[in-house]
Amino acid sequence: MINSINVALIGNPNTGKTSLFNRLTGLNQKVGNYPGITVEKKEGYCSLDRMNKAQILDLPGTYSINTSSIDESIVLELLMNKNNRDYPDVAIIITDVENLKRNLLLFTQVKDLNLPTILAINMSDRMIRKGIEIDIELLEKEFDTKVVLISTRNNTGIDDLKKSLINYRTLSKSTCLNLKNIDLKYFKNLQKLFPNESLYKLWIVITQDINFGEINRNKINLSSDLSIHSDKIIKELQHKETIKRYQIINDILKKAYSIDINKATDLRSRLDRVLIHNFWGFIIFFMVLILIFQSIYNWSSYPMESIDSAFAYISESIKQNFPPGLFTNLLSEGIISGIGGIIIFIPQISFLFLFISILEETGYMSRVVFLMDRSLRKFGLSGKSIIPLISGTACAIPAVMATRNIENWKERLITILVTPFTTCSARLPVYLIIIALVIPDQKFFGFNLQGLTLMGMYLLGFLSALISSFILSKVLKLNYKSYFIVELPNYKVPLFSNVFITVIEKVKSFVFEAGKIILSISVILWGLASFGPGEKFKNANEIVKSNPMAKEWSSEILEYEIGSYKLEHSYIGIMGKAITPIISPLGYDWKIGIALITSFAAREVFVGTLATIYSVGQENELTIKEKMRNELKSNGDPMFDFPTGISLLLFYAFAMQCMSTLAVVRKETNSWKWPLFQLVSMTIIAYFVSLISYQLLS
Amino acid sequence: MRTLDKLLPGQKGVILKFDKVNIPMKLIEMGCLPGNKVEALYFAPYNDPIYLKLDDTYIAIRKDLASNIFIDLEI
């Protein structure tokens, strides 16, 4: 029988917490959500020895147990609730050797919850270079727990840590701080009210407005003659508590920790001088963005083309080798083309997250936050909005979730509202295919013209996000106290395994989460295009054959005419035709109309929809792009000419076409008001911008 | 006595006191406590936010927050 231990991994941001999690669990991890909220829940398991395994929970990074955001409250809620399924048997507090003092604050708080708490000091590989010496034995004695020196970079100390996990029962549950030393009278009275409860937990209930067990804030308020509801007194005591904790930590570190200042290298100041320079900083940031978008465009085009033709080949060979019929059609035209529409995204998503995670891992992202804060504040945003806006180029869903660390509600709400304007990866296939059709493949000052257009689309997305947030900041009347605190971590060489796991994780969640929607829409579409109401659809063969011209057609043309007639009278054809009067001023026909309808579920199905529509209408299997190129308007001109192409690009740039984003916004703002506002206003903007551009260009 | 936002890049000081109502707990927990050393390292464009070395922590805060913190200039 294998013994399973619940382990909670807790630590400040930028201490290598996720690296340790990756070291312990490898790819044995899964990412889910905490029930009811969209905070990522990362769990994994790790085998300790033959008899023991550890179930490890990677909790969101936090500086303190006292919460200032939803992410941080996860940590506290878990640690306060012994009945929680994930309640840890033992906690690992991971700290950065160079920032031990501040990291230990969290350690003392967690230990005071009477939890066996192991202190893992990370980045021990930097100790010699930084001239740091630590007396581990003394630390263990003073904090009355196990202390392990580890390096997630060099993979040292991990076995020691595993051993300490096995022996967690031997760890003391003693506390670091006696609250009575802060205010004897106050805490004595509090204890008298609930003699059987931990004083620190009672104190947290008072300060953090959190329930635990039977006790909640109201109960303490009612049964107490103390003026504990006076915020001023509470804040005063919290302040004293923090000072006291730092005193304890300082006293211990004075004896157990030394640093030789002369050995400190100044990589930080040398890099900072350039990277946050008031002029060069912006230039460098802009160059980094150009580099990212050029490489996404250039590198992913090869695998995407192979994926595209591979799926065309599979679809065709199914048609040839299976007996003809409904099932074969469903397989080749519905399912296979749907799966192809998912797989084709993988190269771009991988490259984008490769870059984003490198920027985060190196510490450069925080510098960008610092650099951009003032400029973004003019538009009603925060420097921290830069991360959602950049992640929005991958997908608006994680981006909206990434707004959580923006402390000011107004800035956060505006960021949530404008993030869907940034060019998400679901728009990319639409852009790529239309750009390939309407923009010539030429060099322009050494840059690929198509690549530049794509970058222009990204800039347009970013610019519309800024302009709309400026308007929103003037219109929205919300008054919230604002503050902005950003840590600027040390520069680090990114850890390859972390970058790798992030990329795998994001691709996986895309394929399984978004993929589900794409595949089911693809199959539904196939159904809507393969069936139709009424006599016209049912008798398509006879009706087309009775056409006086039919005798002169070859059998191939006849087939095509029948297919096209059927599609026109299928369910989806009827839907597309119904909206034609509205969209023809934008330069679209009813087939594009169908794609627009399905895109309101998710943009990425645009290309798949057209592929389904055209492959239903044509027998010879061409790749999607060629099919679109051969599509003609009623007057014989190409359907996807310059004015229609640009109009479509603009429509997709502005329209809110993503059910999942709306659902996340509903969750994060806790109201349907804001997602509906987004849906209506963005669609109206998209319609009129496309209308104006088409009418001007054609 | 002056407020933290009045420091010039490279100047150091010691925190004396601050307006407790306007300073979030998070900043206090990151080391903004009376007696701790603070150094202004860089300013972002338009001199805001300020990049500080606070105790041993490197953080950036906005000027309006910094103006609530009183310091003793170290010469």
User: Cβ–Cβ of A484/B21 closer than 8 Å?
Assistant: no
Residues 373-392 of A with CB under 8 A from B: 373-375, 383
- Tell me the C-alpha distance between A360 and A502, whole Å: 11
- The predicted structure's pLDDT at residue A396: 83
A403 to chain B, closest Cα gap in Å? 18
- Phi/psi for A95 (5° steps) reads -130, 160
Alpha carbon A504 to chain centroid, angstroms: 13
Cα A58 from Cα A132, distance rounded (Å): 28
Distance from CA of B61 to the nearest CA of A (A): 5
The pair phi, psi for residue A361, each rounded to 5°, is -65, -35
Would you say the C-alpha torsion A164, A166, A169, A175 has a positive or negative sign?
positive
Contact B57 A102 (CB under 8 A): yes
Residue A463, pLDDT > 90, answer yes
For residue B27, what are its two tokens? 């900043």
pLDDT range class, residue A95, cuts 50, 70, 90: very high
pLDDT at A212: 55
Does A238 lie at the interface with B, CB-CB under 8 angstroms? yes
Of the pLDDT bands very low, low, confident and very high (cuts 50, 70, 90), residue A621 is very low
Interface test with B, best of A68, A123, A239, A367 (most B CBs within 10 A): A239
Q: Are strands A447-448 and A443-444 parallel, antiparallel or unpaired?
A: antiparallel
- Any chain B CB within 8 A of the CB of A363? no
B62: closest chain A residue by CA: A484
Q: Do B56 and A486 touch (CB under 8 A)?
A: no
B66 in a domain, yes or no?
no
Residue A409: its chain B contacts at CB < 8 A? none
Closest partner residue to A488 (CB to CB) among B29, B59, B64 is B59
Asked if the Cβ–Cβ distance from A375 to B42 is below 8 Å, we say no
Binned at pLDDT 50, 70 and 90, residue A669 comes out as: confident
Determine, for residues A373 and B49 on separate chains, whether the beta-carbon distance falls below 8 Å: yes
Tokens of A72: 């941080």
Asked if the Cβ–Cβ distance from A487 to B30 is below 8 Å, we say: yes
Give the whole-number percent of chain A exceeding pLDDT 90. 29
Is pLDDT at B53 greater than 80 in this prediction?
A: yes
Residue B57 maps to a domain? no
Residue B63 in domain: no
- Chain A to chain B, count of Cβ pairs less than 8 Å apart? 103
- Given an 8 Å threshold on Cβ–Cβ distance, is A64 in contact with B57? no
Q: Which strand (E) or helix (H) includes residue A95?
A: strand A90-96
- Report phi then psi at A216, rounded to 5: -130, 175
- Domain tally for chain B? 1
Distance CA A596, CA A574 (A): 14
Please report the sign of the dihedral spanned by the C-alpha atoms of residue A212, residue A215, residue A220, residue A221: positive
Alpha carbon distance A562, A617 (integer Å): 8
Around Cβ A213, how many Cβ atoms within 10 Å?
12
Residue type, A119: L
User: Could you tell me the residue range of the domain that residue B9 belongs to?
Assistant: 1-40
Q: H/E element holding B52?
A: strand B50-54
Q: How many CB atoms lie within 10 A of CB A69?
A: 16
Q: In residues, how long is chain A?
A: 698
Closest CB from B24, B42, B62 relative to A272:
B42
Beta strands in A435-501 (DSSP E): 443-444, 447-448, 485-487
For the segment A497-523, what is each residue's pLDDT rounded down to a tens digit?
Answer: 889 988 888 788 777 776 777 788 778
Q: How far is A269 from A616, CA to CA, in rounded Å? A: 62
Which residues contact residue A184 at a Cβ distance below 8 angstroms, ignoring those fewer than 6 apart? none
Q: Which of B28, B30, B45 is closest, CB to CB, to A278?
A: B45
Across the interface, whether the CB atoms of B20 and A236 are under 8 A apart is answered yes
pLDDT in tens, A270-295: 899 899 998 999 999 989 887 877 77
Is the pLDDT assigned to residue A620 strictly greater than 50? no
pTM of the model: 0.79
Least confident of A180-194, A315-329, A399-413: A399-413
- Is A486–B60 a contact, with Cβ atoms under 8 angstroms apart? yes
Contact by Cβ (8 Å): A106, A132: no
Question: What is the dihedral angle through the alpha carbons of A294, A297, A303, A305, rounded to the nearest 10 degrees?
Answer: -140
- Chain B closest-CA separation from residue A53 CA (Å): 35
| Closest Cα in chain B, distance from residue A182 (Å) | 16
Asked if residue B55 belongs to a domain, the reply is no
**Higher-scoring residue by pLDDT: B6, A267:** B6
Do A172 and A119 form a contact (C-beta atoms < 8 A)? no
Q: What residue in B sits closest to A374 (Cα-Cα)?
A: B48
**Contact across the interface for A374 and B58, Cβ inside 8 Å:** no
Weakest mean pLDDT among A455-459, A629-633, B43-47: A629-633
Task: Return the residue matching tokens 């991890």.
Answer: A29
- On average, the pLDDT of chain A sits at 84
Q: How far apart are CA A475 and CA A469, in angstroms?
A: 10
A483/B49 Cβ within 8 A: no
Helix residue spans in A584-655 (DSSP H): 590-599, 605-617, 624-630, 642-654
Q: Is B25 inside any structural domain?
A: yes
Contact A347, A431 (CB under 8 A): no
Nearest to A487 among B48, B59, B62 (CB): B59
pLDDT at A151: 93
Single-letter amino acid, residue A594:
I
A220 pLDDT above the threshold of 70 = no
Q: Does B6 map to a domain?
A: yes
Residues of B engaging A, defined by a Cβ cutoff of 8 Å: 20-21, 24-31, 33, 41-42, 44-46, 48-49, 51, 55-62, 64-65
Q: What pLDDT band is residue A617 in, cutting at 50, 70 and 90? A: very low
What tokens appear for A50 in the block? 């033959």
Tokens found for residue A173: 């549950």
Tell me which residue of A608, A642, A646, A611 sits closest to A626, measured CA to CA. A611
For residues A346 and A150, give the distance between their C-alpha atoms in angstroms, rounded to a whole number: 35
Q: Which of A242, A371, A483 sits opposite B33 (nearest CB)?
A: A242
pLDDT at A225 over 70: no
| Secondary structure (3-state) at A209 | coil
Using the predicted structure, report yes or no on whether residue B11 has a pLDDT greater than 60.
yes
CB contact under 8 A, A102 and B55: yes
**CA–CA min distance B8, chain A (Å):** 16
Confidence at residue A224, expressed as pLDDT on a 0 to 100 scale: 59
A1 touches chain B (CB under 8 A): no
Sort out which chain A residues have CB atoms less than 8 A from B44's CB and list them: 276, 278, 370-371, 373-374
Residue A619 pLDDT more than 70? no
CA distance B12 to chain A (A): 16
User: Does some domain include residue B18?
Assistant: yes
A318 vs A410: CA distance, rounded Å: 54
What pLDDT is recorded for position A640? 87
Of A101, A269, A370, nearest to B44 by CB-CB distance is: A370
Q: How many residues does chain B have?
A: 75
Question: In the structure encoding, which two tokens stand for residue A260, read together?
Answer: 């030789």
Q: Is residue B67 part of a domain?
A: no
